[in-house]
Amino acid sequence: MARNAQNLINIATDILIRNEREHSTGLKNLLYDAQIAAGQRSMLFALVNGAFKEKDQLLACAEEEGVFESIPDTISNPLNQQDQTELQVVLYEVSRSRSQPRGG
């Protein structure tokens, strides 16, 4: 269960980073090109679209709650793009208050 959820988070993070780098590709194309089981595709769509649309609000809430100050010195601070995007995806998932992570 946890492996499926982490896999969805990793794929969503990669899609959002590629979308940021390759503006011409388009988010929808990246979603359709993702190598994922058919049963998880709708979960991935919801996760990516929600995290994309709410990026500013999610990161502002993290900043306001002191998430970035609590990051240990052993982790790069400020976060690199990969870590920040993964945080964005995880925060979106948590903000939905689901009793079980997607992919479970």
In-domain check, residue 51: yes
- 104 falls within a domain: no
In this structure, is residue 10 part of a structural domain? yes
13 is a domain residue? yes
DSSP assignment of 33-75: H----GGGHHHHHHHHHHHHHTHHHHHHHHHHTTTTTTS-TTS
Residue 11's pLDDT is 93
Question: What integer pLDDT is reported at residue 10 of this predicted model?
Answer: 92
Task: Return the ∠ at Cα 70 (arms to 101 and 85), rounded to 5°.
Answer: 50
Encode pLDDT of 50-102 as tens digits.
Answer: 999 999 998 888 888 887 777 665 555 566 778 889 989 999 988 886 545 55
For the segment 6-61, what is each residue's pLDDT rounded down to a tens digit? 889 999 999 999 998 887 678 888 988 888 888 888 899 999 999 999 999 988 88
Rounded to two decimals, what is the model's pTM?
0.78
Split into its structural domains, the chain has a count of: 1
Domain that holds residue 12: 2-95
User: Tokens 């900043």 belong to which residue?
Assistant: 63
Q: Which residues contact 32 (CB under 8 A, 6 or more apart)?
A: none
Predicted local confidence at residue 97, as pLDDT: 61
